[in-house]
Structure 1
């Protein structure tokens, strides 16, 4: 496991920390509300995990293989009324006994894996019989960008290529249900969704995006993308307050461990 293609620069973690369970994971809430024990597999900076903790009756655990992301998650969750436990761990070999969790959640996690089947088998193992697995994975090739949004379009095009070089699959959502069935999950629902994002860079979230895109360590550190990273930095500095619509494509899966 080489880690998140985006890296762990401060701007990257701050941008990823804008994700919320009521937005990126809203499809999973009815299925996970009241779960005894929830695992967030590949939790990153932990903002979705903190939302999952509010759904759990007993406890919630977030795991990620990046120590910097886990430290960020621990520090930012301390003020939460019900803060999760965060653990450094490789999702290809989960440090939990079998049948340890009532529900497991993944958001753009399997796309980072060199072999998502290994991760899915581990999730199946630690999930109790009848337990719920919810996942949301991208289909980046189906994203749409307003012609005004040259910066996000360039960024995600490069990200997709870099993800593949890193051993991942930026279009994993397109085969998410097939992968889940093949390892033994019973698929309850599977759907393609589109998340529309209006990109004015005068909002805090978009400011963080442009900062991340303009200083992309995963682009700058790879010779193949170093020139493109320079172009993105220039575009970020000139982006102004132009508005445009970006539509991001995802697949959302609800499955369970068969009885």
Structure 2
């Protein structure tokens, strides 16, 4: 489909994504998992959520897929570190999954639909490989819901550039609020929508989050696309990165983002 992953797979991005867990990123899904479930994790990235889900389903077969090989190297390394020899990580396109119809009890995607030009088609393909009675579980951030304090101009510009780059890729950065609508368009009807947040408010949390984005603004695909699409100059990116560092050290720093979540039962 030619979709572009706005964040990229540079070390600064993988380091940030590699701290995610099922507890902080898929808590809405955990109560629905059963021992022995076969599970597909679409857009698994460095695999930390995948490996947590594998523990939750026990004897079930678990496969994590991503569109490119780069993050899967990190996923396999995480699996080796945890002694997991059963979970598989493979390259696959969400629009053309190389699996049989009805192969999985659970198909999960975290922060994936927001990067796709046709998220409805992706949901239909996820439904194809899900067994009758199984579930599709998706969670996506809603960039339009993100709020922070202090309201530094450089961080406001960060958001403007991000939304501009996403829209230039024909993707939807405000995805969280649209999950139910996309599911309806995909023909899914038995839906359980919820929402949750990621929040950064302690000095340690804000320091980590701010320093992470200060690097990503300069080193990730965010920077490359911003420059190539004429959305920002290098001077602006330096300023945005500095704003993130300033925010990370501020004694009143606070940042929250809302996520849309959806369980769709077939």
Q: Same fold (TM over 0.5)?
A: yes
After TM superposition, the score normalised by the length of structure 2 is 0.87
> TM-score, with normalisation over the residues of structure 1?
0.89
Per the alignment, residue 255 of structure 1 pairs with 264
Match of 1:71 among 69, 73, 76: 73
2: CA distance, partners of 1:115 / 1:35:
32
* Aligned equivalent of 1:89: 92
- 2:197 aligned partner: 194
Q: Deviations over 1:151-209 (max 9, x none)?
A: 65543442222111122101122121121122222333112333322263675565333
Corresponding position: 1:114 with 2:123? no
SS of alignment partner, residue 175 of structure 1: helix
Distance 2:243 2:104 in 1: 45
Q: Distance in 2 between matches of 1:77 and 1:53?
A: 10
Q: 1:58 to 1:123 in 2, by over 3 A?
A: same
Structure 2 residue corresponding to 1:235, chosen from 240, 243, 261 = 243
- In the superposition, relative to structure 1, how do residues 146 and 204 fare at CA in structure 2: closer, same or farther (>3 Å)? closer
Q: What secondary structure does 1:66 align onto?
A: coil
Taking a change above 3 Å as real, the CA distance of residues 196 and 71 of structure 1, as seen in their structure-2 partners, is: same
Partner of 1:180: 183
What is the aligned counterpart of 1:141 among 141, 144, 153? 144
Question: How many residues matched?
Answer: 257
Change (3 A) 1:185 1:59: same
Mapped partners of 2:248, 2:208: distance in 1: 14
What residue number does 2:214 align with? 210
State the secondary structure of the residue aligned to 1:185. Answer: coil
